Structure 1
């Protein structure tokens, strides 16, 4: 198993590639990563996992050859609406997904778990892999949390999501956290240094 970080430099967003024995999972394919992701489009089962539906996390989704796309149902409309996802602000229309299967996060099994963490968007999620890694999207960063002042954001929901994550981090302090922006960190460091978790 291997986690590879690709930086979508135009919007400073982190895309992650998780290589497992049976498949490759691409998390949040942002603006400009499709060229690098082409190297992973081999014979393995390839899927895209989206922490939420904002443009900087989905921009290149329709340029990669995935077998399936997984997103929380509450953020699924963003894939089809350039205004809701803010794709229009970057000169792009709604994604052209063709016949690609778009599935709910409820399909995740085995080594993958979805934690619904609304606040940044209604369908924001964190993905726990192998009880060792957390892909937190724009819910939590090393020293901050996602903004709640955009459409679909909610301060009270974010507070509830932070409290849930605080419980998880307390139980699993060695958890490695891969955020949607910025450097990777650990649950222990977030509990100690992130002011929103103190």
Structure 2
């Protein structure tokens, strides 16, 4: 398993390219911007991109989806509950002038697979499984890759969690989602949508919001 991390876009979104070294089949998680750079890396590393996996559908996680899908033919996977965010007006109107500036760059080709709890896809002998973790958005998900990695999007950050004050956010849902992750058996590398990397055990021990979720 090879994983490359990129920090893309105006709000420093973490994007991850993961692939199998033998088959070169792979997927990209949350390509939020910098499409040309991401496509160049996919090509240079000879990755046969099978899927574009989205933890949720906020603009800063999807702006490069259209270009990558056209360049690779990869299937787009996203939660049906975030479908409303795939309309540019609905997605960008809360951001005022900045949102209007982004309108011309909003390029989403549509979903190939609507993910829900337990949806899984395979590539290069690896299995990516979706877990519903609403709170940041109604369709926010954590993606587990085998028994090794959690792509936690804007649900779980290092010693922090995603904001819930944007349209569709819900703090009580966030707490339930953090409790769900806390109770997940085992330990995993945590690869979040922003900020630094972590592990699930570190978050169990040091994340104050996860502690609040467990103790409420």
TM range (shorter): 0.7 to 0.9
SS state at 2:38 partner: helix
**Pairing partner for 1:51 from 55, 80, 85:** 55
Give the 4+ runs in structure 1 shifted more than 4 A: none
Instruction: Provide, for residues 39-60 of structure 1, a one-character-per-residue CA deviation record: whole Å limited to 9, x for no partner.
Output: 3145724320000000110011
What is aligned with 1:69? 76
Larger helix percent: 2
> Residues 34 and 126 (structure 1 numbering): CA distance in 2 closer, same or farther, change over 3 Å?
farther
> Residues 96 and 116 (structure 1 numbering): CA distance in 2 closer, same or farther, change over 3 Å?
closer
SS state at 1:128 partner: strand
Moved more, 19-28 or 181-190: 19-28
What is aligned with 1:14? 14
> Residues 181 and 45 (structure 1 numbering): CA distance in 2 closer, same or farther, change over 3 Å?
closer
**Pairing partner for 2:113 from 103, 111, 131:** 103
CA–CA distance in structure 2, aligned partners of residues 59 and 109 of structure 1: 22
Q: Over aligned residues, Cα RMSD in angstroms?
A: 2.0
Instruction: Provide, for residues 26-76 of structure 1, a one-character-per-residue CA deviation record: whole Å limited to 9, x for no partner.
Output: 100012243233331457243200000001100111121242100011112
The count of aligned residue pairs is: 192
- What stretches of structure 2 of length at least 5 have no aligned partner? 212-216
CA contact (8 A) 1:52 1:123 kept: yes
TM-score, normalised to structure 1, is: 0.88
- What stretches of structure 1 of length at least 5 have no aligned partner? none
CA contact (8 A) 2:120 2:129 kept: yes
What is aligned with 1:34? 36
CA–CA distance in structure 1, aligned partners of residues 182 and 47 of structure 2: 39
What is aligned with 1:172? 186
How far does residue 189 in structure 1 lie from its aligned partner after superposition? 1.0
